[in-house]
Each structure stands twice: as C-alpha cells, then as structure tokens.
Structure 1
Amino acid sequence: MPKNSTVALDKAGARARLKEAGVYLAMAELAGSGNSAESKVAGSNAILAGIAAADAICGLVLGERSAGDDHTQAINLLKRAIHPSTKAATSLKRLLTQKTPVQYGADAISASDAADLIKWARDIVQEAEAKDR
C-alpha cells in the first residue's frame, strides 16, 4: 500500500467504525483507573477509539478514510471533514503522537496520561456521533 492513500468508506462502514470507536472508548474508560498495566491498556484502547472515530467522520462526510502510514495525512483528511472550531483534529494529532510509545513501548504510562488519552478520544467520538445525526 502506498504511503499516502485513502480507501472508500460508505455510510454503513462509517457507522460500523463508529460502533467500534464506542466499544474501544468504553474499554478504555473501564481500564483507565487501575495500575500501570491497566493504564497502558486504557491508553491503547483510547488511541484505537480515536482512530476509529476519525475514520467514521471521514467516511460519513467524505466517503473515504485514511489508509496510509502517514499520520499527517489522516489528520489532514479529518480536517477536511470537520468544522475548524472543533477539537477533533487536535485530539487525533495528540493521540497519534502517543500511538507508538503507548502501544509498542515498554514504558508504563500513568493514570493521568491515560485519562488525557481517553479525553482526546472522547472528543473525536463525540464529533463522530454528531456527524451521524
């Protein structure tokens, strides 16, 4: 797959991604107040929730989602799909910045860091839910 690419995502697919985002977010919130391992799992699920919700927004509005390795492309595609005053693009950027260290790194994350990731994911999920109305 090329570095910068998108794939089609129809409304049904976008709604499926939105449901997945909700489940990831619920799992993140469930694990978010525990020990460092639970915080890391919560953070990882929050990141997945944000990505799924961003996909849902892009699918609902643009009929496509990012499918490349370039996180900047995903953020720029999301910016095309939302009103500039929303927090979703900034929140996605924050989540994607933490993706590698949280999901693949050996270092623990704090409950506070997990709470931030959950908040940013919630911003994107709420925006996706608003687009689905």
Structure 2
Amino acid sequence: MRLWTQARLMGMWAAHNMTGRADDSGLSMAFELFTHATRFLGKKVVLLGLYNGQKLQHEPPGDISLYSRTLGEGGPGSTFVRVLLLRGRLQGAVLIGETELEEALENLILDGLDLGGVGPALLDPGIQLDHVFD
C-alpha cells in the first residue's frame, strides 16, 4: 500500500507550520481513514481504521463482530487477516503477510456497506473481494 499521498500532505503541513503559515494554507490533518503499513519480522503488516476496536468500548458487545483467517503454517507465504465489524459495517482490519486485501478492505470501510449478511465468508480466500465489491 502506497502512503506517499499522506506523507506528502504531512510534509506540506509541517512546512507550513514551521514557517508560521499554517492558518493560511487551508491544509487539514483530517484523514478519512487511519492506515499504517510497515514490515515486522519480515512480514508486511497493515492496520486499517479501528483495527483494535478503539473508540468502540461503549458499543454493545453484541453489535461487534470479529472474523479472522490464517493461511499457511507460519512459513514465508503465510497470512493472517482479522476484520472488525460494527452492526455489519466494516470498521477496521489487521493484515499480516501478502494478503492483497488492503485496497478492497479500505474501500469497504470508507463505503460503509452493510456486510452483516456476508459474515465470516467475507474472509473466504476463494472470494476476490476487489471484484465482488467493486
């Protein structure tokens, strides 16, 4: 996942703040969705949205669903995916390994589609999410 657009915005915002022109720039640090991508122990790790349920502690536990899948036996090609839904709408995800789901899950979070009827099948490796929810 390429985060150069966020890095560019942050750089412009920092430059305007350092020169005292932040109020004139009209730049805002209000991103649509929290996204963090890194590598940990040689594996790609992507955190999207409310990946660990932050800000959801006051929601009824019955309204929150967590689904996860693991593929592989911990080897180089193994992957882990966990998604968090609130009342059927995707709120966050944790992706470890080369899952190729980053963009599809980001779009599902931003679109706010009701996925309640899909349930755990959302993570079925035989389904190509980017084709289904395009």
TM-score (norm 2): 0.26
More strand by share: 2
User: Could you say which structure has the higher helix fraction?
Assistant: 1
